[in-house]
Structures are given as C-alpha cells and as structure tokens.
Structure 1
Amino acid sequence: MAGKRPAPEAPEPLSPLVDAHTHLDACGATDAESVAAVLDRAAAVGVGRVVTIADDLAAAGFAVRAAHWDPRVYAAVALHPTRANALDDAAKRELERLASDPRVVAVGETGLDYYWPGKLEGCADVEDQVDGFRWHIDLAKRVGKPLMIHNRDADFDLLTVLLDEGAPETVIFHCFSSDATMALACVEQGYVLSFSGTVSFKNAHELHEAAKLVPDELLLVETDAPFLTPHPFRGAPNEPYCLPYTVRALAALRDRDPGELAETLTANAERVYGI
C-alpha cells in the first residue's frame, strides 16, 4: 500500500496509454476539480484516459460521477469480494442501476479473495464471496459489459466458478499476480490479463515469466493507484501518471519497444472497454 515516501517523479512521456484500473477516490480525488487535476498530471506523460474502479457502493457512485465530470474518465462498479456480505437486495438494485450507465465500461472489481477472511474484521467469508461473484457474473452478462476480476490466492476456485456460471464475453483479470500456469489457463479461455506495477518488482520472478507468455491481444496495463507503485518507487503513493514506468518494465520483459507496446495496450483497452 501507499506509504509516506514522496510522490514519484514524473516519468518520460509514453503515448498513448490508458490506465485500465485505478481508484481516483483513493488517490484523493473528491470533486470535478480534483479529478481533472489527476487526469492533467497523467495526460502530461501520455496517459490520456483512465478507468476508475469501485469496491463498495460509495465508491461506485463516485466512479460514475467522476466519469460524467471528465470525458477522460470511465467507470467500473461492483462490490469488492471482501465486501460481498454487504450485497443485499438494495445494494443489488443500486449496482444494477449504476452498471447500466453509459459511462460504466465494466462490472468490477469482483471475484474471490482468500487472503483476508479471518484476518480482516468484517471481511466476507468464502461462501458469501462465491455467491457475490456469481451474482456479478450474471450482472455483467445482463448489461453486456466486461467482468473485472480481483483474485487473491483463489486461482482454482475462480476458474471453476467462471466455468460453472459461464463467463461473460470479456473477462479481465485485474492486477494479474499469479504464475505462468494460471496465465496459460486464462489465455486458453481468452481472458484478458492486466498487469500493474508489481510486474516491475525485481523479486517477482514467477510473475515475470507469466507476463512473457500472454499474447499481445490479451494484455492490459494498470496502476491500481494509489497502491502497487512501480519500481523504484515502492512505498510511495501511486497515481495514473506513473503508468509509463510499468509499461517500460513490461516492454523490457517482453523484449518490445515501449512505444510500440503502448500502442498495442491502448488499442486493447479501446477494444475491451469499448471506448
């Protein structure tokens, strides 16, 4: 998570880029002016658009408002799996309403998180998470939008539930953090894998191998800001303007020109999100 280190210096511009997953509210944006300030900093280094993500109802409402305030912002709405125990009938109605908004480009982040139950007070248990995940899968199919997945320590069960329910046409594994075996299993199903600053971490050897295996057309890149700040700024607050650091790290792993990879990633984001 973001620490007390100073904000990273701006990277050399790399254009065009789309931040496929960020949390503008957690970055400190609260209104149209502060949202625009974050996007202006991002645009200065080539990150022209972002998808801001919800993990609870308040964040979902904010994400949709932000997407209407600034044309460079798109939204995704869902309850995070650790909050799946709050998915009552009223929450479902509100998420259904928000997910139908034309500025919402995905249902997420949803999925399974097996790390936090028993460690985090109030965290949804596995049964509630699975039930919530199934409901979000159905919602994504009903509104015809991509499903954005949060996965922590739940590889097998995630793939099983997707197979059992029948996956939506487009599935995005946000902040992919599993190994090459899981990457190949996702690729086989045509799922899109989005890589964050973790792919730049020097000790993330299994993730490095996974990142090399994904076909170009199934790649996205994200900040997950304000978290997961790329090397060499780990522990500092992340923001969408930091995305070029991750793209350059990913390009080095894949032996690609960063500018060419940026164009590929942006074309993928435009296709996947319909933007």
Structure 2
Amino acid sequence: MASFGLQVIRGLFGLGEHVAPSLAGRAAFELFCRTPNVKRPTEGERRALAGAAGFMTEARHHRLKHGAGCIAVHEFRPEPGRASGATVLVIHGWRSRTEYMRALIEGLRDAGNRVISLDLPGHGRSSGRRLTLASAVETVALAQQWFGPFAAIVGHSFGGAVAVNAVSGFVRGTAPVPVQRLVLIAAPCAISAIFTGFSDMLNVGPRARAAMSRTVERVAGHRLEAFQGDRQLAAVPVPTLVVHARDDREVPAWHAEQYADAGGHVRLCWADGLGHRRILADDGVVREAVGFVDSGKSDLRD
C-alpha cells in the first residue's frame, strides 16, 4: 500500500492533469531531478561508506566548478612501474557514488590504468540536490578537459546512459567526448521508459507527461522520446561492452538487448543472478570489464 504522502502526491498530479497540465509536468520533472539527501544515508549506506573509507584515502581528490556548485572528482593512480598510460573514467548511477564503484575502480587501477571517478551533481561529495542528464553530461565534458583524454568510460545504471550521451554528443551544447571503449553495466537504453515508470508511480497524466517531454527538450535539446541509446550507439560505432543481468528489477533486460541491436560493435554479456547492484562487485564482471578496456589500449598506442 502506498504511503500517505505518496497518495497525496498522486492526488495532486491527478488534479493537475485537469487544471494545469503544463505546471504539473514541470513539477513532475523537478521531482524526477531531485536527488536523495546524502547527509541522511540509510544504515546500509553508512556501513558501505565506512567499509570504503580506507579505499578513498588512496585517491587524490579534486573539486571542479560546475554551474552553481562543485563536482568532486577522485583520481586513483596505479602503482609506480605498472602504469599503462591509459586513463579511464568511471561514472556511478542514481543514488550512488564513487565508493560503490570500488571493485571496478580497483580492477581497472590494478591493470595499470589511471582511474578518474566522478561524484555526479547531488551525489557523494559533490554539491547540490538536483541532477539532469544534461548536467551529468556537462560534468563528463568538464572532467575530460581536466583529466582526459579517456581511453574508456565505464558507466553503471544512469551513469551508463550518461556515458552514451557524452560519447555521442547528443545533448545540446556539448561536444562528443572521444573514447576507444565503452562499458555499460545495467544501463538503461530508453530514457523515456524511466520517465514512464516514474509517471505511473506519481499518477502523472498524458498531458502533464507531454509537458515533461517539452521540459526535457528545453533542457537537453531533444524531446524525451529521442533519447534512445541504441540509436546513439549506432551513430557512433565505439566498441561497447554491455553487461546486464536478466533478473535486474530496476533496469529490465530488454534495455541491454536494445543496446546490442545497435550494431556489430556492441557485445552483450549476461551476468544473470546479480541483479542491479550486486553486479558491481562481482569478480567475473570486473574481469570482463577490465579485459575489454585493456583490449583497446593498442588502439590508444596507435
């Protein structure tokens, strides 16, 4: 049963659909972009952060000015004598942060890569309480200016969608970020599907949804329905590894299948039984991702 607060919100959006659909659509968009309060972690999040405290001391920490706030960037360098000369960008998902990407970061670093990990706006040690796809892509472009070029980008969940949009240059006002390899782990392909699930939960009606799409177009330069990762990858044939679990309840498996349909440059690897978040810490997934990134280093040297 929905909480009382959710019932009230659903009632308000139901009323807004009939009285002021444009206003309701803009309000729904702002709710969608609202990030969790990082100062109020759950008990599980507290334990995870405490467990990663030592790991985070191994990084060099940077802060970049972005819009009205600052972006936290964490730089993990390989041991002296093991550096390959390649730099890899790692992007976490919604309600996540660098600490939760630890296994991937350690695997990439131990293979000789310099790893740059972002805390997206409103997440981790970055400031703010709002995140859009456009602002996330802007932070990737900013990181590329300061720490690039990147041999590869590895993105989990929303971070994978950010990576695709950054590499394709699909968001208005941002140039494509050049890379040799992409790794997408449990990443959504159709952004509109995420909005649909969110709208269904809040009882956002069709006219208000249309207003949401217009707001997306104003912010990012395209209507919501245009943000299709498979089409973006088809237009930019960067070798891509897609890793997904068929039992993922947050991002259904058909998203991975759509990515795989983008062309022969996309390889799909199933990691069944690992869901949406456990997939990040799996040794087999880490080996697969690191091996795929390493296979592109010859391209970088050439």
TM, length-normalised to structure 2: 0.38
Tell which structure's C-alpha radius of gyration is larger. Answer: 2
TM, length-normalised to structure 1: 0.41
